[in-house]
Chains A and B, each alone.
Chain A
Amino acid sequence: KAGVTQTPRYLIKTRGQQVTLSCSPISGHRSVSWYQQTPGQGLQFLFEYFSETQRNKGNFPGRFSGRQFSNSRSEMNVSTLELGDSALYLCASSLGGFDTEAFFGQGTRLTVV
């Protein structure tokens, strides 16, 4: 069974630009969560989608948004990029319950210059 796939693996963007990251979950998984990982901060929860609906959101500004498609693939968008947005962005898919195992993708490393 294929794992969680994130594209692209690496991105370099300029301040003020916007970026879109993609996540393809494991087949049959309907929940996709997004996290921002920075050194010393661990994984910070961005949002969770299930059946094309955002069910929960973390404490990030409105510049961070996402969506989920009918095939459960999800995208995350960051507008008006800031230097502090440089991080590894991870998505995780699961069957959808709060106590089901989450499987992570390899992440997209975003560098804002």
Chain B
Amino acid sequence: GENVEQHPSTLSVQEGDSAVIKCTYSDSASNYFPWYKQELGKRPQLIIDIRSNVGEKKDQRIAVTLNKTAKHFSLHITETQPEDSAVYFCAASSRGYTGGFKTIFGAGTRLFVKA
């Protein structure tokens, strides 16, 4: 079945350093790749997304890259701050045969930013 692998499972960086989280998906029909941030005890919230017709997207300190050929996409956070500490989930979404959609999530990366 469809699968999204996410690495690393845990990432610890010093404040101000960059953090990179990588995901690989299996369903070649996936066309939408959102990233969610989940702080402790809170609901996941969308932080950035990318569609399959775009190779890279940036929003202030956050950027995503997509390589459809390799079925690989990554999240880059620059100049990390303690408030970036959270669990980050990548996801791959595709249309279903009935017109709906299915979103498959990675297992998550717990990011620690040390002050």
Chain A interface (Cβ within 8 Å of chain B)? 4, 31, 33, 35, 40-45, 48, 50, 55-56, 58-59, 90, 97-99, 101-107
CA distance A97 to B19 in the complex (A): 30
CA distance A27 to B36 in the complex (A): 22
Stretch at the interface among B43-51, B57-65, B67-75, B77-85: B43-51
B51 touches A99 (CB 8 A): yes
Check A98/B94 contact, CB under 8 A, given A45-B103, A58-B102, A90-B44: yes
Check A45/B46 contact, CB under 8 A, given A56-B96, A99-B51: no
Question: What number of B residues sit within 8 Å (CB to CB) of A?
Answer: 31
Known: A43-B91, A102-B103, A106-B42. 10 other contacts (CB 8 A): A45-B103, A45-B105, A55-B98, A55-B101, A90-B44, A98-B32, A99-B31, A101-B46, A104-B36, A106-B43
B105 touches A50 (CB 8 A): no
Distance to closest chain B CB from A22 (angstroms) = 16
